[in-house]
A and B are shown apart, each in its own frame.
Chain A
Amino acid sequence: MASHDAHAHGHHDEHHHHDENFISKYVFSQDHKMIGKQFLMTAVFMGLVAMMLSILFRIQLAWPGESSDFLSFFLGEKWAPNGVLKEDMYLGLVTIHGTIMVFFLLTGGLSGTFSNILIPLQLGARDMASGFLNMLSFWGFAISSLIMLVSLFVESGPAMAGWTVYPPLSALPQAVSGSGFGMTLWLISMTIFIASSLIGSLNYIVTIINLRTQGMTMTRMPLTIWAFFVTAILGVLSFPVLLSAALLLTMDRLMGTSFYLSDIIVGGEMLTNHGGSPILYQHLFWFLGHPEVYIVLLPALGLSSEIIATNSRKPIFGYKAMIGSILAIGFLSFIVWGHHMFVTGMNPFLGSVFVFTTLLIAIPSAVKVFNYITTLWKGSLVLTPAMLFAIGLVSTFITGGVTGIILADSALDIMLHDTYFVVAHFHIVMGMSAVFGMFAGVYHWFPKMFGRMMNTRLGYAHFWVTLIGAYGVFFPMHFVGLAGAPRRYYDYSAYSEFDNNSFQLMVDLNQIITVFAIIAAVGQVLFLFNFFYSIFRGPVAPQNPWNSTTLEWTTPVEHIHGNWPGELPTVHRWPYDYSKPGAAQDFITQVTPLEEGEEEH
């Protein structure tokens, strides 16, 4: 360790007076802080695009068949003739919205941004284990984002088989126009994305294992790092399986193999493929797809653990139990994928095994929720915007989590599978919890990222619009689902032919949902403005604005290569010494040595 430090230190001195040019500083940077910011910017942009797409199809759902200038403005005559969205494009919008949100915003954006920024800073490392691979990881992400965006402009339309792209629909261009070139681009983009994510994850794991500073034992790491660590492991183990699924799909599409295809007649053409199984794809996809939920969620939970502890001025309750539950969630997430497939024709006995494992996840999740609540108990809460978002995250994690219990119960899933109840459930968990975690992280670590402060009042306004708007969107969706409305329906006019009451219910609720969606979307302007304006004009941040204990706040406000001028800090205690009895201040940084006779927590 010592020799490594000396080396890193020398390296740092070497570069100190070196004037960097624009390209090496902002474009092909190998500095983890810059790469983190690049991830964040790209993800914010992708998130905006995906949010816009959702507004476009929400307009169709609320006012089906009505001409909208908004739609014709954005989609033109080809995809919205006379301002009415085309059926195929509706599916295209839904598919790309889901893909971008899950992979590009919540995987690349959340884990990519904060793992990069926080891992070296909170562990006391000069940089990531490999700066070059880190750069490669970002550029892979950027290129895959670009390809995904380009696929929206393909003549035959973007991928249209839903974000899960189940074959045979996604394998046969005769079945839906988006399964032509649009789907090819989707597969290329995702392949690059997976490669980028793998490089990134391996880098995070290596850094966490090898580059912790003196005294930073595994059980002195902040929970953020634990969350990023387990997230990276999940990514390394599950993304390659998605790659294999995509590869087999590509071969079915281009080379005439029959991994997923069997006995099909499509567009009047009798295919000779025989013996494949679409269920195989679903197994491979969900073997990634379920850990993916936790790849999205764990970083958000990690960030909020840190933020809640700091702003409650209390240690996080049950630090070891929190680590245990992260590990348990990580492990269980690999043996539950079948709960997405209860009604696919999978063996019912296998289904019941998945019911059991899935419901087990509720236990570590409950532990986390109660630990958060106990952390708040008898705290001295400072309600910064970041803290509000973190508390909002706990609320949505509860709300979205409990409906998971119903969906994990195979007997109940039969009647709710693929209805809006599912859409509501995973949007509250991913669209609210994970996104709230991301916002909380941005508000909290903005001073670290840009050396300036965001405006607090605008932050409050943004939080309240988002909380009310997003609950207003996703809460009523449960009831659309309980009424039996299938997801991915272009409109619900079919209902008017057999059940007018249900039809009326769906029209009413869909309009409420769309209005809230527009409010929530417009509310994001507050964030965007605050974010970009504060980068350039925000007041300069103090070194440790939130009176935090962790190492990143011991670095200078100005970013320098190697993070710490002089020697790396030495860690003497765990990261949650807030309001420790007998201490002069209500926080003791990790670099403060234990006092005579003082016990570590």
Chain B
Amino acid sequence: MENKLIILLVIILGAIAVAQLVRIYEISSKLRKNAEHEISNRDNNLNGRMMFGFMFLFFAFFIYLMQVYGWTGRGSAASDEGVEMDWLLNLNFVIISAMFFFTNFLLFYFTWKYVRKPGVPAYYYPHNNKLEMIWTVIPAIILAVIIILGLQTWNNLTGPTTPEAEKIELFSKQFDWTARYSGADNTLGLYDYKLTLDNNELALLTTNTIDSSLNNMLYGSTGIRSLQKLLNNRDTIFSDSTLNVLKIDLSRKERLYRFLAQMKEYHNPNLDASAWDDIIQKDTLYLCKGQEYEIVLRAKDVIHSAYFPHFRAQMNAVPGMATRMKFTPNKTTKEMRQEKNDESFNYVLMCNKICGGAHYKMKMIVVVLDRPAYKKWMDGKKKVTFKDQYFPAAAAPTTPADTTAVTMN
């Protein structure tokens, strides 16, 4: 409360300050011999000099920031692609810095140099086609270089991966990341969002997961049967709005059930294997130095963006669509720690597309190992595949679903 009073006081004092300004204003307009539109030579020269002075201050500020923060911000690139991008960035930076210094210098220098001097008229100089040509053609040439180099790099970065590339899926949802390694066959199993269940968070597509989803949709605690029971119970009276919500929920679930039933009809059980051996990994993403990665991205709810600042890699994860990116880490976490002289440093995967309140916390630590260490870690992981974790007895299907029961409703 007291503090609010203080803030009010500050506002009142501010108003008094404005009133004082009024007085200064009136006194200054009385003192001035010139009318407001006549700028005195003194004011003119002073501002001209200040403009030129400002330029030096401004350039010094730029150089200072560049020295202190410029290249150190996120350290050197930690992937092969990042090294190429950093080279291109530096080249572009040199070009634009030169343009920045040159044009700003001319601008502020002329402002100071050609400030009005009594008796010196301005030079009537309306156009010169040669000059116009010069500053059309020279930027065009510089830009041509920038475009050609940029597109070469862009094509390398977005082109196909080699067959040796390891495939990893990054699954995003509010507000965390889950990685799925493709397992022994280096093939990511198929998925369908309708299969999402507590024991199948990534909605992988296998005969068993379809069955358990069908089962859950029908008999689960908020499934179709329990909703029907609730609605058909003559002892309960719902308000119109609740009734409406329940009915919409029921019809939505019936529709989903039909989709699942169709999915079951068309499912090819031979595809199950590629999902069973996938490895689901939370908290920390382990990568191998020198290994090329093909990263596939998926979003469960809203758009997220997988952003690896140190690998210079970024791609959005979009609901309903698969996106991809690739990179090859070239420094282990250990090497980077030595380089940065910081024992607590880690690589990171951050979310870089606004995705809700806790957007700023959505991250995953990334550890890059050398090949032997990675292989050791991976061998351990291969013992706990998706199948081992959630469907250890997977060969035989669980409850066969009753597909005809719902459609009649």
Q: Is the CB of A161 within 8 A of B256?
A: no
Hey, which chain B residues are within 8 Å of A382, CB to CB? 39, 44, 116
Q: Give the interface segment out of A28-36, A142-150, A273-281.
A: A273-281
Least Cβ–Cβ distance between B230 and chain A, in angstroms:
17
Least Cβ–Cβ distance between A94 and chain B, in angstroms:
8
Closest to A532 in B: B18
The docked-state distance in angstroms from the alpha carbon of A489 to that of B362 is: 10
Within A502-547, which residues are at the interface with B (CB < 8 Å)?
A: 502, 505, 509, 525-526, 529-530, 533, 537-539, 541-542, 545-546
Within A253-294, which residues are at the interface with B (CB < 8 Å)?
A: 261-266, 270, 272, 274-279
Closest to B363 in A: A494
The answer to whether B307 has its CB under 8 Å from any CB of chain A is yes
Hey, which chain A residues are within 8 Å of B246, CB to CB? none
Within A51-108, which residues are at the interface with B (CB < 8 Å)?
A: 69-70, 72-73, 86-88, 91
Q: Give the interface segment out of A208-216, A239-247, A449-457, A558-566.
A: A449-457
Interface string of B98-131 (1 = CB under 8 A from A): 0110011011101100111100111111111001
How many residues belonging to A are interface residues under a CB distance threshold of 8 Å?
145
Contact pick for B111, options A169, A381, A488, A580, CB 8 Å? A381
Hey, which chain A residues are within 8 Å of B74, CB to CB? 482-484, 499, 502
Q: Is the CB of A464 within 8 A of B50?
A: yes
Least Cβ–Cβ distance between B137 and chain A, in angstroms:
9
Closest to A574 in B: B126
Contact pick for A88, options B108, B114, B131, B357, CB 8 Å? B357
* Contact (A278, B303) CB under 8 Å given A479-B73, A509-B69: yes
The answer to whether B48 has its CB under 8 Å from any CB of chain A is yes
Q: Is the CB of A542 within 8 A of B116?
A: no
Hey, which chain A residues are within 8 Å of B85, CB to CB? 411-412, 414-415
* Contact (A373, B107) CB under 8 Å given A270-B193, A272-B252: yes
The docked-state distance in angstroms from the alpha carbon of A317 to that of B108 is: 17
Least Cβ–Cβ distance between B138 and chain A, in angstroms:
8
The answer to whether A351 has its CB under 8 Å from any CB of chain B is yes
Q: Give the interface segment out of B145-153, B233-241, B263-271.
A: B145-153
Hey, which chain A residues are within 8 Å of B193, CB to CB? 263-265, 270
Least Cβ–Cβ distance between B273 and chain A, in angstroms:
24
Closest to B102 in A: A398
The docked-state distance in angstroms from the alpha carbon of A277 to that of B319 is: 8
The answer to whether B323 has its CB under 8 Å from any CB of chain A is yes
The answer to whether B70 has its CB under 8 Å from any CB of chain A is yes
Q: Is the CB of B48 within 8 A of A381?
A: yes
Q: Is the CB of B43 within 8 A of A586?
A: no
Least Cβ–Cβ distance between B69 and chain A, in angstroms:
4
Closest to A509 in B: B69
Q: Is the CB of A467 within 8 A of B111?
A: no
Q: Is the CB of A376 within 8 A of B316?
A: no
* Contact (A395, B107) CB under 8 Å given A356-B147, A388-B47: yes
Contact pick for A411, options B58, B88, B93, CB 8 Å? B88
Q: Is the CB of A505 within 8 A of B69?
A: yes
The docked-state distance in angstroms from the alpha carbon of A371 to that of B69 is: 34
Q: Is the CB of B88 within 8 A of A402?
A: no
Q: Is the CB of A272 within 8 A of B103?
A: no
Interface size for chain B: under 10, 10 to 19, 20 to 34, or 35 or more residues?
35 or more
Contact pick for A456, options B43, B54, B123, B305, CB 8 Å? B43
Least Cβ–Cβ distance between A413 and chain B, in angstroms:
9
The answer to whether B36 has its CB under 8 Å from any CB of chain A is yes
Closest to A376 in B: B110
Closest to A464 in B: B50
The answer to whether B334 has its CB under 8 Å from any CB of chain A is no
Hey, which chain B residues are within 8 Å of A502, CB to CB? 73-74
The answer to whether A131 has its CB under 8 Å from any CB of chain B is no
The docked-state distance in angstroms from the alpha carbon of A490 to that of B110 is: 43
Q: Give the interface segment out of B1-9, B176-184, B373-381, B394-402.
A: B1-9
The docked-state distance in angstroms from the alpha carbon of A175 to that of B300 is: 11
Interface string of A470-498 (1 = CB under 8 A from B): 01000110111011101011111110011
Q: Is the CB of A374 within 8 A of B125?
A: yes
The docked-state distance in angstroms from the alpha carbon of A495 to that of B381 is: 28
The answer to whether B359 has its CB under 8 Å from any CB of chain A is yes
Within B48-70, which residues are at the interface with A (CB < 8 Å)?
A: 48, 50-51, 54, 58, 61-62, 65, 69-70
Q: Is the CB of A359 within 8 A of B25?
A: no
Q: Is the CB of A402 within 8 A of B107?
A: no
Q: Is the CB of A399 within 8 A of B100?
A: yes
Hey, which chain B residues are within 8 Å of A331, CB to CB? none
The answer to whether B164 has its CB under 8 Å from any CB of chain A is no
The answer to whether A363 has its CB under 8 Å from any CB of chain B is yes
Hey, which chain A residues are within 8 Å of B62, CB to CB? 475
Q: Is the CB of B35 within 8 A of A542?
A: yes
Hey, which chain A residues are within 8 Å of B44, CB to CB? 381-383
Within A159-190, which residues are at the interface with B (CB < 8 Å)?
A: 160-162, 166, 168-169, 172, 175-177
* Contact (A168, B7) CB under 8 Å given A483-B74, A494-B360, A529-B21: no
Q: Is the CB of B303 within 8 A of A395?
A: no
Hey, which chain B residues are within 8 Å of A233, CB to CB? none
* Contact (A363, B321) CB under 8 Å given A382-B116, A411-B154, A415-B309: no
The answer to whether A405 has its CB under 8 Å from any CB of chain B is yes
The docked-state distance in angstroms from the alpha carbon of A538 to that of B3 is: 38
The docked-state distance in angstroms from the alpha carbon of A390 to that of B315 is: 39
Hey, which chain B residues are within 8 Å of A483, CB to CB? 69, 72-74
Closest to A88 in B: B357
Least Cβ–Cβ distance between B298 and chain A, in angstroms:
9
Hey, which chain B residues are within 8 Å of A546, CB to CB? 37
Most buried by B among A168, A274, A383, A493: A383
The answer to whether B403 has its CB under 8 Å from any CB of chain A is no
Q: Is the CB of A380 within 8 A of B29?
A: no
Contact pick for B150, options A355, A529, A578, CB 8 Å? A355
* Contact (A419, B352) CB under 8 Å given A505-B69, A542-B37: yes
Q: Is the CB of B110 within 8 A of A373?
A: yes
Least Cβ–Cβ distance between B170 and chain A, in angstroms:
13
Contact pick for A367, options B136, B319, B344, CB 8 Å? B136
Hey, which chain A residues are within 8 Å of B150, CB to CB? 355, 409-412
A→B interface (CB under 8 Å):
69-70, 72-73, 86-88, 91, 160-162, 166, 168-169, 172, 175-177, 261-266, 270, 272, 274-279, 312-321, 343-345, 348, 351-352, 355-356, 359-360, 362-363, 366-367, 369-374, 376-384, 388, 391, 394-395, 398-399, 402-403, 405-406, 409-412, 414-415, 417-419, 447, 453-458, 460, 464, 467-468, 471, 475-476, 478-480, 482-484, 486, 488-494, 497-502, 505, 509, 525-526, 529-530, 533, 537-539, 541-542, 545-546, 576, 578-581, 586, 601
B→A interface (CB under 8 Å):
3-4, 6-7, 14, 18, 21-22, 25-26, 28-29, 32, 35-37, 39, 43-44, 47-48, 50-51, 54, 58, 61-62, 65, 69-74, 82, 85, 88-89, 92-93, 95-97, 99-100, 103-104, 106-108, 110-111, 114-117, 120-128, 131-132, 135-136, 139-140, 143, 146-147, 150-151, 153-155, 157-158, 173-174, 192-194, 196, 252, 255-256, 259, 297, 300-303, 305, 307, 309-310, 312-316, 318-321, 323, 340, 342, 344-348, 350-361, 363, 365
Q: Closest 6 interchain pairs by CB?
A: A262-B320, A483-B73, A484-B309, A545-B37, A345-B323, A348-B158
